[in-house]
């Protein structure tokens, strides 16, 4: 949220300069005169997007690339929108630092052909602002299309589509233009309420009438952003290699384990978050063999497999091991697995673990137990070993 608050401060500073009626271009994002949540939040989303799309922060102070979010009501009136005032206060945004419609002499810039106007949550200016019609360059809206500016040369971008909230459209633009890294948890929460209010929190009975897929997609995207921190914390705990090693070899093999039955074959598959090399280094080769044989005996298995899922410098790596005490069956199974596995494999050698063992690096970081199991099911249930 700090970057967004910096943006608010930057636009406030710029507005003080533009108050002096300077002979330079001004870019304004403006909602409609109702100034409801959608029309108040929308200009902030759009201005934040356009400012970054135009790489303003690579050349700060060049206001040709800065877009000012303007609240389309006079200063002092926004407090009457109780939900909006509460929302800004909740995010520690100083409402005195917002730019209101009467803070700037917009007529001055329009008359000098220095105004670029991007409008959101309407596709035709209110009659009291129609004098700026010639300055509209961008339209993002979800109302009935008036086609008011379709024949004008200055209009360069227009999207008018059915959805519950114009803010949904603006949010999706970040993702479509690969700018979604700008949306952290707090900013996502700040941008969300207009969508929630206008769709009645995606009320199912109103889908297709009051809201649609554009809103649903925006909410899903924002939901993921809002939960990234929680996800990162949980996945980091789950996959922390040292914490997993601290559990000991027995728990490593037990904690994410499933049994499978394919005809008369019983198999077990463990998933662990340490590489085989780490496991062998930490617990010795004999300990690994002993633990696997114990699991085979305990679960009455014919076949035992381990999938490792590890992350090194943010890059995922998948390893796979097959162990069969029946060497004759193992040799046939190994050949069939390599033939029928739909994922690219690279065989891996471990000195001291060759007889009855096969190791692979799976060169597809999406591979999981759910994707491996069907390969063996096919081999055994279709009688390919016979």
What is the full DSSP assignment across 246-307? Answer: TT-HHHHHHTTEEEEEETTEEEEEEEESS-HHHHHHHH-HHHHHHHHHHHHHHHT-SEEEEE
The pLDDT value recorded for residue 383 is 84
Is residue 320 within 8 Å of residue 372, measured between CB atoms? yes
Residue 362: what are its φ and ψ, rounded to 5°?
-95, 115
The domains of the chain are located at 2-226, 239-381
**Which SS3 state, helix, strand or coil, does residue 70 take?**
strand
Cβ neighbours of 24 (radius 10 Å): 11
Q: Report how far residue 218's alpha carbon sits from residue 173's, in angstroms, rounded to the nearest whole number.
A: 9
* Residues in CB range of 184: below 8 A, 6 or more apart: 1, 225, 228
**Side-chain half-sphere CA neighbours of 151 within 13 A:** 2
Is residue 273 within 8 Å of residue 308, measured between CB atoms? yes
To the nearest 10°, report the CA torsion of 357, 359, 365, 367. -30
Helices in the chain by DSSP H: which ranges? 2-18, 37-53, 82-90, 106-111, 166-176, 185-191, 193-198, 213-226, 228-239, 241-245, 249-254, 276-283, 285-299, 327-340, 369-381
The pLDDT value recorded for residue 57 is 92
**Side-chain half-sphere CA neighbours of 76 within 13 A:** 2
Q: Name the stretches of the chain with pLDDT < 50.
A: none
Using the 8-state DSSP alphabet, how is residue 145 labeled? Answer: -
Among residues 196, 235, 234, the alpha carbon closest in space to that of 218 is found at 196
* Residues in CB range of 70: below 8 A, 6 or more apart: 28, 29, 30, 43, 99, 100, 101, 103, 104
Is residue 72 within 8 Å of residue 39, measured between CB atoms? yes
The pLDDT value recorded for residue 1 is 64
The pLDDT value recorded for residue 314 is 66
Written as six digits, the tokens of 84 are 């909006």
The pLDDT value recorded for residue 355 is 83
Asked if the domains 2-226 and 239-381 are classified in one and the same CATH topology, the answer is: no
Pairing of strands 67-71, 26-30: parallel
What are the CB-based long-range contacts (under 8 Å, 24+) for 280-283? 280/350, 282/245, 282/249, 283/248, 283/249
Which option is the CATH number for 2-226: 3.90.1170.10, 3.90.1200.10, 3.90.1640.10, 3.90.550.10? 3.90.1640.10
Q: Report how far residue 55's alpha carbon sits from residue 47's, in angstroms, rounded to the nearest whole number.
A: 12
pTM of the model: 0.77
pLDDT single digits (tens) 271-302: 999 999 999 999 998 999 999 999 999 999 99
Domain covering 239-381 in this structure, CATH number: 3.10.310.20
């Amino acid at each position: 949220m700090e970057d967004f608050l910096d943006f608010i401060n930057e636009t406030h500073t710029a507005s003080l300069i533009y108050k002096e009626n300077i002979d330079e271009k001004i870019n304004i994002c403006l909602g409609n005169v109702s100034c409801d949540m959608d029309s108040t939040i929308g200009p902030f989303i759009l201005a934040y997007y356009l400012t970054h799309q135009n790489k303003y922060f690579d050349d700060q102070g060049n206001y040709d690339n800065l877009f000012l979010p303007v609240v389309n009501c006079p200063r002092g009136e926004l407090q009457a929108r109780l939900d909006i005032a509460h929302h800004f206060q909740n995010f520690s945004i100083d409402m005195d630092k917002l730019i209101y419609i009467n803070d700037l002499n917009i007529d001055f810039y329009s008359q000098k052909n220095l105004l670029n106007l991007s409008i959101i949550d309407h596709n035709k200016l209110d009659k009291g602002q129609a004098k700026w019609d010639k300055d509209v360059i961008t339209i993002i809206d979800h109302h009935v299309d008036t086609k008011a500016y379709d024949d004008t040369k200055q209009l360069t971008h227009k999207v008018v589509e059915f959805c519950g909230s114009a803010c949904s459209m603006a949010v999706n633009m970040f993702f479509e233009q690969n700018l979604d890294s700008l949306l952290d948890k707090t900013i996502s929460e700040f941008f969300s309420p207009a969508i929630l209010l206008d769709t009645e929190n995606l009320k199912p009975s109103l889908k297709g009438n009051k809201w649609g897929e554009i809103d649903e997609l925006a909410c899903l995207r924002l939901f993921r952003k809002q939960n990234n921190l929680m996800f990162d914390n949980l996945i980091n705990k789950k996959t922390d290699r040292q914490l997993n090693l601290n559990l000991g070899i027995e728990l490593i093999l037990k904690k994410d384990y499933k049994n499978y039955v394919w005809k008369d074959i019983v198999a077990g598959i463990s998933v662990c978050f340490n590489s085989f090399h780490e496991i062998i280094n930490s617990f010795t080769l004999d300990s690994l063999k002993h633990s696997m044989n114990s699991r085979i005996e305990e679960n009455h298995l014919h076949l035992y497999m381990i999938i490792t899922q590890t992350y090194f410098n943010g890059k995922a790596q998948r390893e796979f091991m097959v162990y069969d005490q029946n060497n004759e069956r193992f040799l046939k199974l190994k050949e069939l697995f390599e033939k029928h596995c739909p994922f690219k494999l690279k065989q891996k050698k471990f000195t001291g673990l060759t007889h009855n063992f096969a190791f692979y690096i799976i060169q597809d970081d999406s591979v999981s137990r759910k994707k491996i199991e069907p390969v063996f099911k096919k081999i055994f249930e279709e009688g390919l070993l016979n």
